[in-house]
Amino acid sequence: MDLMEAALYAAGRPLDIDILSSLINEKSKETVKSLAENLIARYKEVNGGLELLRLHDGRYVMQLRPDLVQGVMKLVTRKLLTRGPLKTLSFIAIKQPVTQAYVVKVRGNLAYAHVKVLREKGLISEEKLGRTKILKTTPVFADYFSLSSDSRTMKQQLQKMFEQQKSKGKKSSGKPLDFKPNVES
């Protein structure tokens, strides 16, 4: 169980049963699930700064408790994305599925580089369609930003988050705030 805990902590992202199984050298997926559930119970009992969750798709993730995130965000120095790719990612998430051609038309030629970075980080997927590509967010994106994997629900969640950020930004400094994820990986 210690090795599983260490793997979930070190990965900084959700891990599926197959990965956990191979890491702890256990062939029985039921045994791995049982160990993971015991670990979840242990973290709930301790009620520390970290929590272990089983996601809807069966993967497991270790993360900061949501009620503690805002208190420690100022300590996070490494950003997942710079402003340009983050804006392109936001646009793709709101408009998905969207053609790369349309993203470039709206966001400019730098969007090609942004799409490459986003794809390399596993935040978006692309599917060839003629001379262009269809872009969509991935489960990695949904997990990272604690959003629904259903695109319709995700769009509603994002709209609400953007509206909250916009109103917070106007109240405090007159400038919109940078969007920050719920969990740093």
pLDDT digits (tens, 9 = 90+) for 136-156: 999 888 888 878 888 888 888
Q: What is the CA radius of gyration of the chain?
A: 18
Q: What is the pLDDT of residue 116?
A: 95
CATH 1.10.10.10 fits 78-185, yes or no: yes
Q: What is the pLDDT of residue 169?
A: 66
Q: What is the pLDDT of residue 84?
A: 93
d(CA 13, CA 29): 20
The pLDDT profile of the chain, 185 residues, written as one tens digit per residue, is: 889 999 999 888 888 899 999 999 989 999 999 999 999 999 999 999 999 999 888 889 998 888 888 788 777 766 778 899 999 999 999 999 999 999 999 999 999 999 999 999 889 999 998 998 999 999 888 888 878 888 888 888 888 888 888 877 655 444 443 444 443 33
Give the residue ranges of DSSP H helices in 56-182. Answer: 66-72, 83-95, 100-107, 111-120, 139-144, 151-172
What residue ranges do the domains of the chain occupy? 2-74, 78-185
Q: What are phi and psi of 14, to 5 degrees?
A: -65, 140
State the fold for domain 2-74.
Arc Repressor Mutant, subunit A (1.10.10)
Spatial contact of 89 and 132, defined as CB atoms under 8 Å apart:
no
Spatial contact of 97 and 134, defined as CB atoms under 8 Å apart:
yes
Residues 6+ apart with CB under 8 A from 177: 165, 168, 169
